[in-house]
Amino acid sequence: MSFVELHPDTGPAPTTLPVDSDWWRGAVIYQIYPRSFQDTNGDGVGDLAGIIHRLPHIASLGVDAIWISPFFRSPMLDFGYDVSDYCDVDAMFGTLGDFDALISHAHELGLRVLIDLVLSHTSAQHPWFQESRQSRDNARANWYVWAEAKPDGSPPNNWLSIFGGSAWEWDGERMQYYLHNFLKEQPDLNFHEPAVQDALLDVARFWLDRGVDGFRLDTVNFYVHDKQLRDNPPLDPGLRNENTAPAVNPYNFQDHLYDKTQPENLLFLHRLRELMDRYGAITSVGEVGESQRGMEVQAAYTAGDDYLHMCYDFAFLSNARPTGTHVAETLEAFDRIAPDSWACWAFSNHDVVRWVTRWNVPPEKVRVLAGLLLSMRGSICLYQGEELGLGEVYVAYEDLQDPYGKRFWPKFRGRDGCRTPMPWNRDNQNSGFTEGKPWLPVSVEHQNHAVNLQEADEDSILVFYRRMIELRKHHPELTKGSFRTVEAEEDFLSFVREHDGKRMFCAFNMSDQSRDVALPEGNWIKDEAAPFVSTPTEHGITLPPYQAVFAVERSA
């Protein structure tokens, strides 16, 4: 296998894409989990060179941008979400020169590049934390969240870690507890300290200067904690859900009023937006981990032009099946709660069970749900392998890498099942991912979904995604238009998208029975470019099982 020749580290990559400050609105963004995308050096872990090599595949989908999960220097206890140096590439992924080459090649292919910034916490090996823990009066003593023990030696309050147990870890060096919302090796930064905010803005500036087109902001509502360290109240058991943590995790037992989503967070987001706006066509996508008040937080974080460009919560990343009623209610609720905001929707990412498995979707239903996602009002994130129709992989305990899964096994098996390597070529070793031993097993089930097989099949799910994304890009009604529900039932949804006086009618039959669909008033004609079949009748359209129709108004 040959790979592109990388440029030397000669500094920031040039930006060659046209300036369009509104490019992100309605965009399709492809998420890359670099460890599992493509390995080029045989160590079994994907790298930046591998991403460069596979950029043509991503560009062929017609997506607008890529989002790359963390590749910064890290001890990899949480696989890059524990950063020990924000301004360097971990050696397992390559070099800053590789990253510059990636930016350059992506831009040549018309792809914008978002990177995953993890600002709420660092690795315990970060020099900032190593200095902070040395004493209570050093230059960075207040850069992390330190607190005294209670008189009996117990933690300062009842806050819990998403990864299990108390969110507080005792440090014998300072003789204090420090806060960690995730692993104990991921101490939380103290955003009440102005120097911390300044340092993190410098991090964002470093990558903007290198040519990135925006940021996906990990756990964006975890940045600021309650300064008084008040206890979280218990949550009514009837309100518990699995949008932020699995049911087996007692994290769901609390109403997280004080350990995250504090009002002071908006002040930092405003400073970050001011910085991004100096660079022109930059965007930001905030991950909001908030089970009870998700859309309200999104509305606040994306209001007007002062904060983030868009957020996505966990509405379609949960176990709740996307029925017609649920989808319609969710989209309508967003328009009602956040009328001045822009949504970003996803069915899968690196933290949840792949949606084909999560919702137990039969093969014949995959297209209609994928078409529904790509017709929603808002921007769309696709997770690597989603375009192949990949399902979740069972990873045996002895092969497990995810500390979250090890903590709650077997009732929660962690996130490794959605992170296994991409299947590129069925006939190659490890499906073309690596010539070495892959860091996670290559799925036998995924081999028959390999890219090389689907490329040769005009009826494949891969070709379907290309056609559906092309349809979305061809119609501003789908990328930027308004949304109005026409009819919503358990297994059926129809709506109208409208932009600049043009309307598109979209209807989705998610059942195993044919259905007659009445068209709204108007002179409608089926869009022949849509990757679905339908049969006109005197009453409107007959939709076969698991089919959709996209109709446009005929010009007068």
Model confidence pLDDT, tens digit, residues 154-175: 999 999 999 999 999 999 999 9
The pairing of strands 379-383 and 344-346 is parallel
Handedness of CA 147, 233, 78, 189 (dihedral sign): negative
For residues 510 and 324, is the Cβ–Cβ distance under 8 A?
Answer: yes
Residue ranges and CATH numbers for the domains of the chain are 28-120+211-230+281-452 (3.20.20.80), 472-553 (2.60.40.1180)
The pairing of strands 344-346 and 146-147 is unpaired
Q: What is the pLDDT of residues 344-390, one digit of tens each?
A: 999 999 999 999 999 999 999 999 999 999 999 999 999 999 999 99
d(CA 45, CA 262): 37
d(CA 430, CA 421): 9
What are the distances in angstroms from CA 92 to CA 48, 80, 218, 265, 278?
A: 9, 11, 21, 33, 32
Owner of token pair 């900032």? 128
For residues 377 and 341, is the Cβ–Cβ distance under 8 A?
Answer: no
Secondary structure class of 58 (helix, strand, coil): helix
pLDDT at 244: 75
Catalytic residue among 218, 392, 416, 491: 218
The candidate with the shortest Cα–Cα distance to 526, out of 545, 510, 542, is: 542
Secondary structure class of 13 (helix, strand, coil): coil
- For the question of residue 287 being annotated catalytic, the response is yes
Catalytic residue among 226, 287, 386, 416: 287
Alpha helices by DSSP H, 236-386: 265-277, 294-301, 324-337, 355-358, 366-373
Profile the chain (556 residues) by mean pLDDT over runs of 10 residues: 33 62 96 98 98 98 98 97 98 98 98 98 98 98 98 98 96 98 98 98 98 97 98 92 81 95 97 97 93 88 96 88 97 94 96 97 97 98 98 96 92 94 96 98 96 97 98 96 97 97 96 93 87 72 94 80
